[in-house]
Chain A
């Protein structure tokens, strides 16, 4: 009923939270119609549901959360990828505080000792932040490569992160932190995916 692509759709939805079809399809990397077909199958199986309303969208049911955790544990055990993913997670957690520093620096800057919103009028400052983003992205690429080698479904993150940075470097300022396809949003989902894959509750993870 729900084969391996269905499992991927279920897991991506688990990691990105409530989402409209278009956002989910972008995260999965498949055409919307195909993703919707899987969603309908998953809904029939009672694993996902669609909440109407302004803040609604597709999301997992409690049964879906349990089933996804079961499948992900099975996947990690069957592929023997746990150690490689755990090692990559350690490296990710070294980069994570720096990424958050950069996001904060993109949003706020200190002028005359006062923290003020970055109004993006100082191009030189923005260029410096972007440069460091690009530097961090190179180091993130190595972590993504390790993850993709361990579990191919992680490949999509590299593509989405690189695309977000490309758009930001081309002048789309909202693509670093602000939009639902921004670098931070994708990074945040990768963080969630690593925790979900390794079965680490977020409250227990090192949080700054």
Chain B
């Protein structure tokens, strides 16, 4: 094979060729961790596709062979009426470009295969939903890459063919082509990613988080990304597919709930996180799915923590003797120190966390909840207000201007609300999916809790926490991990004089 590599321990190609995601999956296989069977089409195939406007010579034959291998590994057949093989087709560049390229899920659900899987699982509702998701993601993959008229004819042509292998070829082309959507080009321009490198495509047997009540999906961090504390952290969504988490369409549960509902999955997940940390000698996070009580890992990323969390992890890893002190110091840049000085909610016992979203504009803000812009503008005369909305429109601008902090239950860190909050310099939490705003009843709800308008809350625009009351904020100056790290820095630089933290770090870096 010259274009395609199996997701097996023996594959030793570089992340440049396999993409970061594909390479990570091979590492997981090498560690003996559960990864759905699959293969990677290398980034060089994408480069050829983009140059010639068609799939490279020989790829077609390799694709057929690779699918046969996958069929043998799973005991299923692509497009078959009995025991059909269903696959995901995902992008994965050498440098991660989250959300910029196309993904096709549940490919292989032809009319026949859909009926076959329904009969096999005895769960037609689940299969119909999977088929709907396939058609949606397939259509979206084409929508982003061609103009509307062309996408329409091409999509309907393929849909009429109803041939799983044709679908697979079309999906691979769509993922390759999505490398050059204007949005992806903009992303690379802004993040210094070379335009010529191209993306790999990962084809894997689907595992279904939506299969039954013993299935689900989630994201798990080996350490708390807000504090760096060595405690598993993340979200889990029971009975749903991974894409529902990413899109925020469904509300997630805190990861530890997995321990009660699926103890075996939880134990395996903790063991996997530990194993991965030992390998990378760093904190990590994984995307996972469990199907009928069985755990599967779909992606791994080491590192990625910032500020205070990065500092704590570096010091803890040195204490655990996974890395030496020099490595710990090298992992912390002056930017981490600067970031660590952002005020954060004071943590500790008795913190009444209502829910958590994603931080969109750093800083801590305390105030009384208002659920409409009009009321925020009125209430602001009597003290600080936190405006809580599902999302924001221009009609909320006067409320945003009047508020001290902003919360939305939908939209991500690049939503209109987030952009406006940052333009106004106001702490903001977005994507707090567990919150619902009830304008008529003048309250917000989070799970079973009802919090009336006017209730005092505090929000943290870094971690995304929304806390009842006002616990106050804290800066890093009291952080013992930082102090220890800087002591190590002074030992290396030999300079123990009083000076700013950043100078102490930079002096040590100069001698490492």
Residues of A within 8 A of B (CB): 15-18, 51, 53-57, 87, 90-91, 94, 97-98, 100-105, 107-116, 128-129, 131-132, 135-136, 139, 177-178, 182, 184-185, 188-189, 191-192, 195, 202-203, 207-208
Contact = CB atoms under 8 A, between A and B. Distances in A.
Given A111-B335, A129-B190, A178-B423, A55 B416 contact: no
A199 B219 CA distance: 37
Given A17-B393, A55-B380, A104-B418, A87 B401 contact: no
B348 interface: no
Interface residues of B, number: 47
A18 B402 CA distance: 12
Given A107-B422, A207-B391, A188 B336 contact: no
B410 interface: yes
A108 B422 contact: yes
B454 interface: no
B419 interface: yes
A194 to B, nearest CB: 12
B395 A17 contact: yes
Given A17-B395, A104-B414, 20 more contacts: A17-B397, A18-B395, A51-B377, A55-B380, A90-B148, A94-B143, A101-B187, A101-B414, A103-B414, A108-B422, A112-B336, A115-B306, A116-B338, A128-B189, A136-B186, A188-B420, A189-B394, A191-B416, A202-B393, A207-B410
B183 A203 contact: no
Given A53-B377, A178-B423, A184-B423, A18 B397 contact: yes
Contacts, number: 132
Contacts of B36: none
B394 A16 contact: yes
A114 B394 contact: no
Contacts of A131: 189
Contact of A102 (B148, B186, B334, B418): B186
| Majority secondary structure, A binding face | helix
A17 B416 contact: no
A16 B393 CA distance: 9
B189 A132 contact: yes
B136 to A, nearest CB: 12
Interface in B335-355: 335-336, 338-339
Nearest to B338: A116
Nearest to A118: B422
A100 B306 contact: no
A102 to B, nearest CB: 7
A56 B336 contact: no
A94 B307 CA distance: 34
A177 B120 CA distance: 54
| Majority secondary structure, B binding face | helix
B333 interface: yes
A11 B344 CA distance: 42
Contacts of A51: 377
Contacts of A128: 189-190
A90 B144 CA distance: 11
B415 interface: yes
Given A55-B380, A94-B144, A192-B395, A113 B306 contact: yes
Contacts of A113: 303-304, 306, 333, 335
Contacts of A132: 186, 189-190
A53 B381 CA distance: 9
A101 B186 contact: yes
B398 interface: yes
B84 to A, nearest CB: 30
A152 to B, nearest CB: 21
Nearest to A205: B391
B416 A100 contact: yes
Contacts of A203: 390-391, 410
Closest 3 CB pairs of A and B: A112-B333, A55-B377, A114-B335
A28 B377 CA distance: 25
B335 A192 contact: no
28 contacts: A17-B393, A17-B395, A18-B397, A54-B380, A91-B148, A94-B143, A100-B414, A100-B416, A102-B186, A104-B418, A107-B419, A112-B336, A113-B333, A113-B335, A114-B307, A114-B336, A114-B339, A128-B190, A132-B189, A178-B423, A184-B423, A188-B394, A188-B420, A191-B416, A202-B391, A207-B411, A208-B411, A208-B415
Contacts of B307: 114
A202 to B, nearest CB: 5
Nearest to B401: A55
B398 A55 contact: yes
A98 B182 contact: yes
Nearest to B419: A103
Contacts of A87: 148
A57 B190 CA distance: 38
B413 interface: yes
